[in-house]
Amino acid sequence: MRTTYDAIIIGGGVIGCSIAYELCKQNKRVLLLEKETIGSKASSAAAGMLGAEMEFETNHPLYTLAKESRDSFSFLSKELFDICGIDIELIQKGIYELAFKEEEAVDLKREAAERHDQGEEVSWLEANNLLIKEPSLSPLVTGALYFAKDAQVSPVKLTRAFYHSAKILGAEIKEHTKVVQLLQSNNKVTGVVTTEETFHADSVIVACGVWSSDIEPSLKMVPVKGECLSFNTKRSLLTGTVKYKNCYLVPKRENRIFVGATSTPHVFDEDVTFSGLFELMEKAKQIVPELSGASFEKAWGGIRPQTLSGIPNIGRHPHKEGLILATGHYRNGILLSAITGKKIADYMESEVHSS
Ligand code: FAD
Ligand code: GLY
């Protein structure tokens, strides 16, 4: 195994694996180091929504980037399948934001009109039309704002597909390898020190999710714990993803439904709590009453990596040469993984050409 690379990526979540994949496509010599196993942290806790329009207001700084990332998944899913044979289970059936109360319907109708005026493909569905499309929803719904282009994937398969494709394209990947510090001289980062070895590289990329501040203390990460659960149903209950307030139901292959998610800032454990599950199950039953007869599959928790500003750090460190940041994707790391990998690879390529 060599000890000098073009790029070392710290962290094998969806972000680190996407970057490894994109850098390998540019023939870079890449080493990815993961302290546990690939995709074992936030990236496997996600529901997998590609909710660019559902998650962001049109004036949000991430809105355009999020849409670009979401729209790239049609091509990406084929590209990854062709390279590694993993199907990321892309489902492009939209996301419905539901209203139950009249005042909620008024707000969502106004939002539909505003977004429509801005040329977006969103629409307001009255209850009768909504129930034709999604007949298992509660008859008490008053309507929904429909984000037709939002989609979803399997987050576990996406991370695995980036990882396997990067490996096939030449990346070296070491699991159970914890980076303990950056190698630095005169404000220039030149490599990393792990518990066992030292590796050198032209660029080091921090993609450690909520643990990024352990590597680079200027990154002040805020942990936001989320809990989810899943059910098996006897028949398909939903085609699109549905969301009401802070509860969403994401229909997966083979009649599975993911229900998420709680949101508890400043909590660092992944425990599944009685109150978390109870809250989600009550809401899920309100949205799709038939779910109360579904079989429980499993429950899990994960830590969303949030920055103080709420905007991820994607790009060069402002003061340290050779250090690149790709962290803080908070609620949208699956959605933003595609564009983050591309941006970092393009950034490194432009550095080569400008030097
Ligand atoms: P992680 O997946 O946490 O990966 C970081 C990796 O770095 C870990 O594997 C860790 O072991 C490794 N690491 C840390 N320190 C070191 C070190 N010193 N040395 C080596 N390795 C190290 N996003 C969406 O887009 N759509 C959704 O529907 C969605 N739903 C979510 C639901 C829940 C309940 C949660 C918790 C999150 C959800 N998210 C969703 C957010 C998404 O999961 C995260 O934004 C994304 O997974 C972050 O990816 P990451 O690679 O930055 O972090
Ligand atoms: N994006 C959904 C969540 O973080 O729960």
What's the CATH code of the domain at 71?
A: 3.50.50.60
CB–CB of 239/41 below 8 Å? no
Predicted local distance difference test score (pLDDT) of residue 121: 87
Predicted local distance difference test score (pLDDT) of residue 165: 98
Q: What is the amino acid identity at position 285? A: K
Q: What is the amino acid identity at position 303? A: I
Q: Which ligand 1 atom is nearest residue 300's CA?
A: 34
Q: What is the pLDDT of residues 74-123, one digit of tens each?
A: 999 999 999 999 999 999 999 999 999 999 999 999 999 999 988 888 99
Q: What is the pLDDT of residues 227-278, one digit of tens each?
A: 999 999 999 999 999 999 999 999 999 999 999 999 999 999 999 999 999 9
Same domain, 70 and 162: yes
Q: Which domain holds residue 163?
A: 4-88+154-219+309-354
Predicted local distance difference test score (pLDDT) of residue 49: 98
Same domain, 244 and 296: yes
Same domain, 59 and 190: yes
Residues with CB under 6 A from ligand 2: 47, 49, 226, 260-261, 304, 331-332
Predicted local distance difference test score (pLDDT) of residue 321: 95
Encode burial over 115-149: b for 16+ CB neighbours within 10 A, e otherwise: beeeebebebbebeebbebbebbbeebbbbbbbbb
Same domain, 278 and 202: no
Mutate to test the pocket of ligand 2, among 41, 43, 49, 283 (most ligand atoms within 8 A of CB): 49
Q: What is the pLDDT of residues 191-223, one digit of tens each?
A: 999 999 999 999 999 999 999 999 999 999 999
What is the band of 21 on the pLDDT scale with cuts at 50, 70, 90? very high
Same domain, 339 and 288: no
Predicted local distance difference test score (pLDDT) of residue 289: 98
Distance between CA atoms of residues 338 and 348, nearest Å: 16
Where a domain ends, among 148, 163, 185?
A: 148
What value does the mean pLDDT take over residues 14-20? 98
What's the CATH code of the domain at 121?
A: 3.30.9.10
Q: Which ligand 1 atom is nearest residue 302's CA?
A: 36
Predicted local distance difference test score (pLDDT) of residue 355: 60
Same domain, 24 and 163: yes
Same domain, 182 and 126: no
Distance between CA atoms of residues 331 and 29, nearest Å: 30
Q: What is the pLDDT of residues 144-196, one digit of tens each?
A: 999 999 999 999 999 999 999 999 999 999 999 999 999 999 889 999 999 99
Number of structural domains the chain divides into: 3
What value does the mean pLDDT take over residues 30-47? 98
Same domain, 252 and 193: no
Distance (angstroms) between ligand 1 centre and the Cα of 211 equals 10
Distance (angstroms) between ligand 2 centre and the Cα of 331 equals 4
Distance between CA atoms of residues 46 and 260, nearest Å: 9
Same domain, 109 and 193: no
Q: pTM score > 0.95 for this model?
A: yes
Residue 354 reports pLDDT greater than 70: no
